[in-house]
Structure 1
Amino acid sequence: MADIVWLTLRLAGVTTLILLVLSTPLAWWLARSRGWKAEVAGAVVALPLVLPPTVLGFYLLIALGPNSPLMAPLQALGVRTLAFTFEGLVIGSVIYSLPFAVQPLRNAFQAVGEDNLDAAAMLGASGWQTFFRIALPLSVPGYVVAAILTFAHTIGEFGVVLMIGGGIPGTTNVLSIEIYKAVETLEWGRAHAMAALLAVFGFAVVLTLLRLERRVSAPLLNER
């Protein structure tokens, strides 16, 4: 049980760190851009929200499989496939949880306001200085929300990880897959224990987000 929990936490942690890095420039561009290109990019980012996980998992399974053209460069290095590997799970989790990282950051960057950015520019700050000294500090709550949502969403993944991971013990067998296996083998007590653990975790995540939202909103309400 401990190794399954550790594997699940490891997957969620790695996915969260990768997404916070990758989502920052993407969310910044989406927050600052207008026009059809930004709309199309935003729709692509949000696609995992409406696609059935099995559909996304199916195409990822093909893309990461040994016959995929995408695997050709890695096959030259001795990597035949990323399907049914931990690395493959990370790739799938990053894609599946992308909107849960990008959208909070996009909202946070939009909330910074043009006045603050224009003031920094008038004082001679470069684009990089404006981002790191103004936008980034003001967007910390967005990063906290993005990290919590991404971590929690990865913990609860099932369809995608089942399709591209297969539930291999010690490699891709995370908590959600283990619950499914326990139900299949009629191990109700084991399934109850793991399901209750995830239910408590989910409640804690929702409560934390609500309290965070209240703390962030309180100063704004007091200013009015």
Structure 2
Amino acid sequence: MLNTVLLTFKLALVTSVLLLIIVMPLAWILANWQHKAKSLVLSVLALPLVLPPTVLGFYLLIAFSPQSALGQWWLALTGSTLVFSFQGLVLGSLIYSLPFALQPLYSGFVQLDKRYLEVASSLGFSRLEGLYRIVLPLCKAPIIVAFGLSFAHTVGEFGVVLMIGGNIPGETQVLSIALYEQVEALEYERAHVMSLGLLVFSFIVLALLYRFNGGADPSSGTRNIDPERKR
């Protein structure tokens, strides 16, 4: 049980950190990109929000299989398959949880007053310095919300994990899969304990995010993006 909990939180932590690294520049580019294809790109990136997890998991299973180009490349590089591995779970989780990191960051960057960057530029700040010293501090709330939502969503994964990871103890068996296994085995007492733990965890995460975001929807991630609002 402890190994399953540790594996679940390890997957959620690795996924959330990688998502912040990947999604922050992506969200910034999209927030400042004006093109008629923008809505199409945003729709593609948001697909995991509405796509049944088993559908996404099925296509990821095909993409990760040893017969695919990606699967063959990974097999040649590491000597192991991408499917039914922790690395495969991480890659699948990055795709599945991407909208939960992208949405608050994108909303925060869109609503950021760009005049601060103009002032920073007039004071001799480089573009990179402006992003690091102006944008990131002002968008602290969206960044924390993006991490929190990604973490919680990854902990609750089931369909995608089951399709590409299976149920290998110590390797791919996360809490949601272990819970399903307990229900199938009619071990309802242990299933109750797991379910209650996940329920309490999800509630605490959301309560903290709502509190941190001043009661606003955490997915908006728009609190405190303008210093004037603190006054």
Q: TM-score, normalised by structure 2?
A: 0.91
Match of 2:218 in 1: none
Q: Is the 8 A contact 2:75 2:82 kept in 1?
A: no
**Alignment coverage as a number of residue pairs:** 222
Separation in 2, partners of 1:104, 1:179: 30
Separation in 1, partners of 2:35, 2:143: 26
Per-residue deviation, 1:7:
0.5
Q: Is the 8 A contact 2:20 2:146 kept in 1?
A: yes
Q: Is the 8 A contact 1:101 1:146 kept in 2?
A: yes
Cα deviation digits, residues 72-123 of structure 1 (max 9, x gap): 3223335352001000000000100001111111122223212112212222
Counterpart amino acid of residue 65 in structure 2: G
Matches within 5 A, 1:44-193: 44-193=44-193
Separation in 2, partners of 1:169, 1:6: 12
Separation in 2, partners of 1:137, 1:24: 13
Q: Is the 8 A contact 1:66 1:80 kept in 2?
A: no
Counterpart amino acid of residue 16 in structure 1: S
Separation in 1, partners of 2:77, 2:125: 44
Matches within 5 A, 1:7-18: 7-18=7-18
Separation in 1, partners of 2:2, 2:228: 43
Separation in 1, partners of 2:112, 2:161: 36
Counterpart amino acid of residue 171 in structure 1: E
Matches within 5 A, 1:23-62: 23-62=23-62
Counterpart amino acid of residue 214 in structure 2: R
Q: TM-score, normalised by structure 1?
A: 0.94
Separation in 2, partners of 1:79, 1:153: 30
Larger helix proportion, structure 1 or 2? Answer: 1
Uncovered stretches (5+) of structure 2, i.e. residues with no partner: 216-222
Separation in 2, partners of 1:3, 1:95: 24
Cα deviation digits, residues 24-68 of structure 1 (max 9, x gap): 110110111111233222112111001100010000000111101
SS at match of 1:134: helix
Percentage of pairs with the same residue: 51
Counterpart amino acid of residue 146 in structure 1: A
